[in-house]
Amino acid sequence: MKPDVTINGISMLSLGWLRETVNFPTPQSQSNTITVPGRNSPIRFTEALGRVAYQPRSFDMTFSMLGDRADYDLLVSVVVNQFVGQLCRVTLTEEPKLYAFGTLEVAPTYDPLTGKGTLVLSCTDGDAFLYYVSETVESITGSGTITLGNDYMPVVPVITTTAETTLRWAVDGETFHKTVSVGTWEIPELELRHGENMVSVMGEGTTAFTYRQGRL
């Protein structure tokens, strides 16, 4: 299989572009420190909100084609009109289950001596986390305990209930409970951490948890 990039479900290879290089560096943490006179260690605010926050993800991808200038201009026009300035989902063939999300910009270059055209797609405002293409859906009917597995990105699931239901869970040693009626709900306190998250469900209907996992 040739290396490819899919943008919003469209293959760059199918548009006539050969992938040359991709650069997806790990996003840097949002860190801030204050040096206090007389203190040997600085005050660090990397986890000021209780967890590490990250700067926007930057990445770039280089594509090429061989042909005359008219063919090159046509291929560039197709990409520009569909993707430039748009928020796009970008998936690599190496990691088909994940996608990056951000605004794409284009830098085209054509060499008339060799007949080779290149196209650089870049993003500077991408979301720090890579998202899973498929959402995770877990459900339970009646009362019991459900295990919600999650990757490294904290996420709040969307909860759908078919009957009045009471939920109980614990975060960082603190216990929470919430009773909800029939409908769809998001409970900010019910934030899934990395690993297995146990939620106790008390009710007679079906309770479904839907969420999209992610990682750096």
**Tell me, what's the pLDDT at 48?**
55
CATH of the domain at 110: 2.40.30.200
The overall average pLDDT reported for the chain is 90
Domain boundary among 132, 148, 165: 132
Residue 137 confidence (pLDDT): 96
Stretch 85-105: mean pLDDT, rounded? 95
* 164 and 120 fall within a common domain: no
Do 95 and 170 have their domain in common? no
Assign 73 a pLDDT band (cuts: 50, 70, 90).
very high
User: Do 29 and 112 belong to one domain?
Assistant: yes
Which residue(s) pair with 206 in the sheet? 141
Look at the chain and report how many structural domains it folds into.
2
Lowest mean pLDDT among 65-69, 70-74, 170-174, 211-215: 170-174
pLDDT greater than 90 at residue 45: no
Q: What's the mean pLDDT in 109-131?
A: 94
**Residues 151 and 124 placed together within one structural domain of the fold:** no
The single-letter code of the amino acid at 51 is R
Poorest-pLDDT segment among 101-105, 128-132, 171-175: 171-175
Does one domain contain both 140 and 42? Answer: no
φ/ψ of 76, rounded to 5, equals -65, -40
> Looking at residue 46, what is its pLDDT?
64
Per-position DSSP letters for 30-64, written without gaps between them = ---EEPPTT-SS-EE-TTTTSS--BPPEEEEEEEE
User: Which residues make Cβ contacts (< 8 Å) with residue 87, sequence separation at least 6?
Assistant: 101, 102, 103
pLDDT above 80: residue 47 = no
Residue whose token pair is 């009646």: 142
Which domain CATH number covers 162? Answer: 2.60.120.260
pLDDT at 184: 94
